Amino acid sequence: MTTSPAPVDPTRRAALLSIKLRALVSDHLGPDALPSVADAQAGASFGRGAALIVGDCAWVLLDEQPERGLGAALAWATRQSDVRALAVIAEASTGILARRAALFEMPITVWQAQGRSLVAAHHEPYPVSDAIDPAHEIWRSVIEQGGAEPVVEHGVLAGEIRGLEVCRVVTDAYSGEVRLEVGVGAHDRESFMMLHGNKPTAEALAGVVDAVSGHRQVYAPLHPLNRLGAERFLRWLAINDPSRVGALNLRSADPPVPRPNLKDPIPCVAVGETANGAPLVAVCSVGIDLDLVPFALDAREMYGADAELVLVVPERDASPVTQRVAALARGSISVLTWA
């Protein structure tokens, strides 16, 4: 019988990360460059890892989900009065971090921790959008017949109801069979197959669409089906009323990194044109997302650095920290609140 290791106490973890950061920076700059432990109070105050200040540079060690940590590092650094530069350390996703760091006016260096050494990170190229497998494309009409909207993201064909994925075309890893799986998320799709495996797909999908639609309304009571993918519901609203974001038209677009799952809220992207034909990138987000600005800049760079960039957020989520980080960006950013 095996047991999972006990989770590390958050306070202890923060202390360990602070020690690790000091060791890495000390080996890199030399021990005389570091402030004393008594003077370096910053490590415990950075929730995404650890941080300390050396001269006018903030050194930040990112812990979990480092690819989503640059915004938090910038938010922390801009609260420190003497900081003029930022150095970010991570063990993974440093290529994405380096790519995004180059989109800011503040000098930002990104380092990959390899043991006790720091190695300069190199920009990771944007993912190439895969073409839809022709065997998957034939399911598009079934998705439409079931009442869902076909959406393609990084080569994956899915069906959505006002931004919530309710089905996905998959290829079985063992048999090679291509099928349309119905349900909200991987576990729901698996459960649905076990219960309704022999039910005609269009009919099965129509039943899910009917159950979901009532919850994907602007004034619907709170429910798990409208908490999930709230940012994609906001994108759906913007696509159906593009003038609200200063666009003549909008369409959904691939994010700069593939979405890991349906559960975690991740900003989503739409692209279009303004009334005078200028390219526009709209990035929609719900909740206070410290990494919204780096993500959005990454999306604009992916679709064209000369595009207008609009951040679309609910009124309650127009955070001052978003404006503070946006002020550091190369190129202008507009923040639009959606009432």
- The DSSP annotation for 15-51 comes to HHHHHHHHHHHHHHH-GGGSPPTTT--GGGG-TTEEE
Cβ contacts of 53-59, under 8 Å, gap ≥ 24: 53/80, 53/82, 53/83, 54/25, 54/29, 56/82, 56/83, 56/84, 56/85, 57/83, 57/84, 57/85, 57/86, 57/87, 58/83, 58/85, 58/86, 58/87, 59/21, 59/25, 59/87, 59/89
pLDDT tens sequence across 8-26: 677 888 889 999 999 999 9
Residue 7 has pLDDT above 80, yes or no: no
Percent of the chain with pLDDT over 90: 68
pLDDT tens sequence across 81-108: 889 999 999 999 999 999 999 999 999 9
Contact of 47 with 290, CB cutoff 8 Å: no
- Strands 268-273 vs 178-182: parallel, antiparallel or unpaired: unpaired
Q: Taking residues 304-329, what's their average pLDDT?
A: 95
Residue 5 has pLDDT above 60, yes or no: no
pLDDT value of position 231: 96
How far apart are alpha carbons 197 and 259 in whole angstroms?
A: 27
pLDDT value of position 198: 58
Q: Taking residues 181-187, what's their average pLDDT?
A: 81
- Mean residue pLDDT across the chain: 89
- Strands 268-273 vs 249-253: parallel, antiparallel or unpaired: antiparallel
Residue 36 has pLDDT above 80, yes or no: no
pTM of the model: 0.91
Least confident of 64-78, 99-113, 173-187: 173-187
User: Which domains does the chain carry?
Assistant: 10-120 (no CATH), 134-213 (no CATH), 229-338 (3.40.1350)
Which of 100-109, 183-192, 193-202, 262-271 has the highest average model confidence (pLDDT)?
A: 100-109
Q: Which tokens in the block code for residue 145?
A: 């017949």
Q: Kindly provide the residue ranges of all beta strands, DSSP E only, lying in 194-328, ordered along the sequence.
A: 249-253, 268-273, 279-284, 308-314
pLDDT value of position 34: 76
pLDDT value of position 128: 84
Q: Taking residues 187-207, what's their average pLDDT?
A: 75
pLDDT tens sequence across 106-124: 999 999 999 999 999 999 9
From the list 151, 156, 158, the residue with the least C-alpha distance to 235 is 151
Q: Taking residues 50-59, what's their average pLDDT?
A: 93
pLDDT value of position 44: 45
Banded model confidence at residue 43, pLDDT cuts 50, 70, 90: very low
